[in-house]
Structures are given as C-alpha cells and as structure tokens.
Chain A
Amino acid sequence: MSDQPSDAMTPGKPAPWNDPKIRAIVFQALLVGAVVMVGFYLINNTLYNMEQRGISTGFSFLEKESGFGVTQSLIEFDETHSYGRTFIVGLLNTILVSVLGIFFATLLGFVMGVARLSRNWLVARVATAYIEIFRNIPLLLQIFFWYFAVGINFPRPKQSYAIGETLFLNNRGLFMPRPVAEDGFGLVIAALVIAIVGVFFMVRWAHRRQDATGQPFHTVWASIGLILGLPAVAFLAAGSPLTWDMPELRGFNFKGGMSVLPELFALTLALTVYTGTFIAETVRAGIQSVSHGQTEAARALGLREAPMLQLIIIPQAMRVIIPPLTSQYLNLTKNSSLAAAIGYPDLVAVFAGTTLNQTGQAVEIIAMTMAVYLTLSLSISMLMNWYNAKMALRER
C-alpha cells in the first residue's frame, strides 16, 4: 500500500476520443464534409437536370429583349427593354410599396398604440378591437379583400368619387394632380437644401448654448420656420415656377396627373392595416416599459406634460420600441412580395413570375430574387442596429 494516488485519480489527459477539443474538431470536419457532399450532390443533379431539359445556365438571358409590358414602372420600360431591366423595374416597385407601407404603418401603429393606453375608455377599446381583429386575419386575405371585394366595386371612371375636382377614386385607381416643375424650380430646391443644412448647424449651436449657459432655444419652431419659410420665399422670388398637371376624364379613363394603381392602393392599405397592429403592440409595450417612477420624478422636477413626454418618456420608450420595430419593417418588406397574388408588378410578380415563366431560368432568377430580399433585410437591420446602438443606455 502506498500513499501515491493511483493513475485513475489524477486528472490527466483524457483519451483522444474523450477529449472535447478533438471531438469538436472531428465533429466539425464531419459536418463540413457532409455539407460539401450534399451541396456537390445537389449541384450535380441540377446541372444534369438542366442539361436534360435544355436549359442553359448563366446570366446571359438578362440582356435579351423581354417582349412584355408592365403596368407600373418608375423608370422607362416597354417591350423592347431587356430582362435585366425587368429586374430593376420590379425592384423599384417593391421598394416603393415597402416605403409607402412602412410610412403609413408607422403612423397608424403609433397612433393606435398610444390610443390603446388612452385614459379615454372608448378610444382605448376601439384601438384594442382594431389590433385584435386585424392581426389575427391572414395578410393575403386582407389584400384580397381590399382588392377583389372593395377595389373592384368602386365606381367606373365616369362616376368616380371626387374630392374637389382634384382627387378621383374609381376602379382604375386613385388619380391626383402631378406637380410639374418649370424653369427656376431649382432655386426652391436649393433653398430647401440650405434650410436643412442651416437647421443642422442651428441645432448644434442651440445644444452648445444650452450646455454652456443653460438657456433653452426653441429649435423645433425655428426649424419648421426655416424649412418652410426659406423655400417659400425662394418660390415667390422665382415667380411661382410650379404648375399642376390635372387628371382629366377622357373617354373611359382619366388622362394626365398622377395615378395610383388599384393594386398598389390595395397592397399598401392591407400592409398598413396589418403591420400597424404589430407596431401598435410594440409601441404599447415600449411605453409601458417606462416605469411609473420616471413620470413621478419628472412631475417632481416641475416638468409640464409636453416636455415630460419629449425629454423623459419617449427617449426611454424608443429604446425598447426600436428593435422589434425593425423586425416589423423587415416583415413588411418581405410581405410586400404578396403583391404577386394580385398582380402588382413587384419583384416577385415581374421577375420571379413573368420573366421566370418566359425564360425558364429558375435557379438564377430565384437566387437573384432571394439575394435582393436578403440584402434588403440585412441593410435595414444594420441601419437599425446602428441607430439602436446610438440610442442604447450608456451605463457607467
């Protein structure tokens, strides 16, 4: 009997097959091998299948003439343009509807989120009913409803709903006057840019002055005055260089002016109403997350209602609101692809729909479409992460 501890007691090196580090390496090597093999297998199959079906690979189809028209395009487009251009047209339309949807959904969502917390019983109940009803109904159904049940039943152009002979709503869409810039309008735009730059410097100056002397400065009113006033002065000085192209009823439809397709109208409305419910819940959660002590402390300092909201409540609530708000914006952008179901010419409908059917280049087209959404998703979330980092609590 010796006092030496036996080998089994010492925490020596484990056997190689029991060493976590070696295990991790082996396991990862196996996984990489499996992924590579599956990938190789799939690519091999795809190439073989495409060869069998006589589909050529590569992106050369993008230069070919498309031969189809698109109902709405932000850039010039007709049958003679290439398939590559259909991609741009669809992409721009997707961005258009996403931006419109994000703008209106944010408005609606903030109003409803605040309304749900209102001390007014009726307002709070209405907001709750709106949220609970519309977020539990599939978005596609809502799009169909606004398009097939409401939009199509609008009157024909001759019996349009008209607001003051300038706005017309009928089953061909929404028609409104289009601003036409004439010579000298550049001056107004230049004035606007100068005003914005001026506001930027004024805000910085006001902050510094407040830090140094404690005197506040009414930046909000001064900014509004500068941004509205300077271009207005320039506008009058240049002799009102703006005319309106009015929509006019000619034959069976309106000509001139600016028109919003019924598809775009229905899609924006549905996206707004649906996403608005989620944003409202986000806003409510954000406001509720600010503890009551903050309100009481602000009151104790003698702040009135407006500065209390502006300086104490909103900055703290925004910190909680922004991350989920970002994911709602992302969802809205991705959901805008449902446009394909009602024929609004977005990326999926034009490029992954018509172009895919005409060329049969499934792999390239789906890959490009997915890449677009991935890029949009990643860039929006990067932008929001940056903002979030700026707003985040700086703990000392």
Chain B
Amino acid sequence: METKQFERGPDLPPPITEVGVIGWLRRNLFSSWMNTILTVITAYLIWLMIPPLIDWALLDADWNGSSREDCTSDGACWVFVSVRFNQFMYGFYPEAQQWRIDLIYGTLFLLMIPLFLKTFPWKTWLGGFIIFVYPFIAYGFLDGSWFGLEVIETTKWGGLSLTLILAGIGCVAALPLGVVLALGRRATNMPIVKSICVVFIEFWRGVPLITVLFMSSVMLPLFLPEGVTFDKLARALIGITLFQSAYMAEVIRGGLQAIPKGQYEAADALGLGYWKKTGLIILPQALKIVIPGVVNTFIALIKDTTLVLIIGLFELLGMIQNALNDPNWLGFSTEGYAFTALVFWIICFSLSRYSMHIERKLHTGHKR
C-alpha cells in the first residue's frame, strides 16, 4: 500500500485587504460605517480649509517690498511684517543701541549651553548665577545707567525682547518667593505662618492677572511714600512676580508632597535641623521633580505677558496693535496676528515639548 506523505504547502500571503496600505486604511479609517462617514466628513473639512490657507499664506503671498503698494496679489501681505520686523523684535529701542539687546540674549544663550552638557561640573553655580545674578546685570545693561552707557528708558523697550524680559524676570523672581511660600504652607507646626501663606497663595490665584496689573499700575503708587516711584515696567514686574509666585508655590508644594516621608525621617535621624534638612535633603529632590511643572507655569506666563499691553507696555502683541493703527498699513491685522501667533506658538510649543522630555527623563525608575 502506498502511503501518502503530507506535505506542507507554501504559506499563502495574507489577504490584500489586511496588510499594506489597504489594510492600514481599512483598520484606521474605514473600520465601520460610522468611521467611514467620520473620515469622509473630516477629509472634506480639511480640504475646505487647508488648500485656501496654504494659497493665502504661501503661494499667493507677497514677500518683498517696502510699502503696501507692493502687495498686489490676493494672498497675505508679509511685507507688513518684514518692514516692521525690527520694531516687533526690539520695540522703540534706538537702532544704534540694539546691539545691547543682542549681546544680552547672546550671552544668555552661551551661558545656557553648559547646562545641557552632561559632564559640566559647575552646573549648580552657573544655574544660580543665571537665575540670581544675570537678570540684574541684564536690566542694568539694557537700561544703561550701571555701565556708563546711554540711558534708555523702559518706555522705549518693547517687542519680543520685552516679552521675554517680562516672562523671564517674572519667573526667576517668583521662584525663591514660591519656595518660601510652599515651605510656609507645609509648616504644620506653625499655624499662623501656614495660614498667612495659604491666604497669600489663594488670593493671587483667585484674581485675574489683569486686575493685578491694574492694581500695580493704579494702586501701587498710592502705597508708596511720597517721592518713591517705580516706572511702568517695574510696576508691571512687581505685579507679575507676586501673581506668578502663588502659582509657583503650588507647583513646588506638589514636589514637596511627592518626597517620601522616609526622606524626612532619615534627615531627622541624622540629626539635621530644619534648614539643613530642607536645604540639603528635601529641596534638591523636590526642585528636580518640579522642573516640568515650573516650565509649564513659565509657558503660561509667556502667554500672559501679552496682557501688559492693557496697561500700556508694548510687548510683541502691543507692537503689532500699535503697527496696525498706522494709517499706511490699515487692514493687515490678519497678517500681524498670524505672525505673532507663529512666534508665540514656536516658543510655547518647543518649551512644552522640552518639559515633556524632562518629565520622561526624570521618570526613570518610578514608572510602575
């Protein structure tokens, strides 16, 4: 009798509808009736919006020129932005002195580079210098009075550089205040200190920034003794700092709460006093955890600095509003806002990505 040997045939390829492009489309776009309808509607909406937008912003746009007569096509008139680009960056800062702003930001950039190098040994000192010393040098240098340079009043500062000054100094000044408030809020053995900190934090968190700015511009001069005056920028900075410190305190409090109790107990067991325990054990760990949170409040602050235009400071959006009122350039508000939106978006989006990156980096070993 002949026996038949079973022979395994070659594997059939998977059905064409399950793999490759078609399979992907079926899985992700047309998996059910409902999904197919959704896909079609969404695709139609995108088709309605995106091509005209690209035509307007890129293909039909005018890029070169010096006046509105150069804008002949239907698309965007980026000439409006390019003509005033200098003002949007530097405000009314005299053109001959703008190298000072460039120098300040360039130096800051160079100083920041070592912080991102893994092997750089003096990170703490450099970071401390950037946070606690550099802002004063920058302020004095831009103002000019400390270095024997031409004095340029803060009313002439403006544009993107002012936006970054407001956000940067506001954030840096709020940090130590926030640490103190957060520690105070957690001082359970000192109920009065705790309640003062709670009231302070909840007060600033409960009111909108615009009323804070109104307060610092209208009421602050009334609070001070006769003869003592701050200029508008300093008043805005005081308001922003107080406001920001409350948010900062809450972020830092979150970090303090995340430190396990064992760390406190271990510090106590070593016989460390309160300040040593806080300064050497708790804060270094807590501040590391809260970096993403601090970056997030910084992003919020950058967006909030636009409000200072209401009290008459010309940061980036204020400069745009100012330029839009120029009778030679009426009617280009869409271009102006689109440019500003792009600038803010790039800054905020990249910072938020950076914050997520740090969060992932710091998360090693804690993930469940």
Q: Does any Cβ of A come within 8 Å of B310's Cβ? A: yes
Contact of B340 among A141, A334, A363 (CB under 8 A): A141
Q: Smallest Cβ distance from B75 to chain A, in angstroms?
A: 15
**Of B215, B310, B348, the contact of A341 (CB 8 Å cutoff):** B310
CB pair B334 A28 closer than 8 Å: no
How far is it, in angstroms, between the C-alpha of A152 and the C-alpha of B330 when the chains are bound?
Answer: 12
User: With A28-B193, A141-B344, A341-B310 given, is the CB distance from A45 to B207 under 8 Å?
Assistant: no
Complex Cα spacing A45 to B225, Å? 5
**Chain A residues in 8 Å Cβ range of B333:** 144-145, 148-149, 152
Query: 0/1 per residue, A105-145, Cβ < 8 Å to B?
Result: 00000000000001111110010000011001111110011
CB of A378 closer than 8 Å to a CB of B: yes
Q: B117 in the interface, Cβ–Cβ < 8 Å?
A: no
Of the listed stretches B6-14, B37-45, B140-148, B280-288, name the one at the interface; the rest are far from the partner chain: B37-45
Q: Are B210 and A348 in contact (CB under 8 A)?
A: yes
Residue of B nearest to A363 (CB): B219
Contact check, A140 vs B317: say whether CB atoms are below 8 A apart: yes
Q: Are B214 and A122 in contact (CB under 8 A)?
A: no
A263 CB to nearest chain B CB (Å): 15
Residues A370 and B193 in contact in the complex (CB < 8 Å), given A121-B28, A123-B38: no
> Does B206 sit within 8 A of A, measured CB to CB?
yes
Within residues 13 to 59 of chain B, which ones have a CB less than 8 A from any CB in chain A?
Answer: 28-29, 31, 35, 38-39, 42-43, 45-46
Which stretch (A47-55, A157-165, A218-226) binds chain B?
A: A47-55
Number of interface residues of B (CB under 8 A): 55
Majority DSSP secondary structure for residues of B touching A = helix
A366 contacts which of B189, B205, B215, B303 (Cβ < 8 Å)? B215
Interface status of A46 (Cβ within 8 A of chain B)? yes
Distance A18 CA – B225 CA, assembled complex (angstroms): 39
* In contact, A133 and B345 (Cβ under 8 angstroms): yes
Question: In this complex, which of A20, A120, A152, A377 has the most chain B Cβ atoms within 10 angstroms of its Cβ?
Answer: A120
A141 and B223 alpha carbons, distance in the complex (Å): 32
Q: How far is the CB of B246 from chain A (nearest CB, A)?
A: 12
The interface bits of chain B over 204-233 (1 if a CB of A lies within 8 angstroms of the residue's CB, else 0) are 011111110011001101111110000000
Tell whether B321 is near chain A: CB-to-CB under 8 Å: yes
**Are the CB atoms of A366 and B222 closer together than 8 Å?**
no
Q: Is the CB of B189 within 8 A of A50?
A: no
Which of A21, A45, A140 neighbours the largest number of chain B CB atoms within 10 Å of its CB? A140
What are 22 A-B residue pairs whose CB atoms fall within 8 Å in the complex? Answer: A20-B189, A31-B196, A49-B221, A49-B226, A119-B28, A120-B35, A122-B38, A123-B38, A136-B299, A136-B352, A137-B341, A138-B302, A138-B317, A138-B344, A140-B309, A341-B310, A366-B218, A366-B219, A369-B214, A370-B211, A370-B215, A377-B207
Can you list the 9 inter-chain pairs with the closest CB atoms, starting with the nearest? A121-B28, A334-B208, A136-B348, A138-B303, A377-B206, A337-B208, A28-B192, A374-B206, A149-B333
Q: Other than the known A138-B344, A356-B214, what 13 A-B pairs have Cβ atoms closer than 8 Å?
A: A28-B191, A45-B225, A49-B222, A122-B43, A137-B341, A141-B317, A141-B337, A144-B321, A334-B207, A337-B211, A340-B210, A369-B214, A373-B207
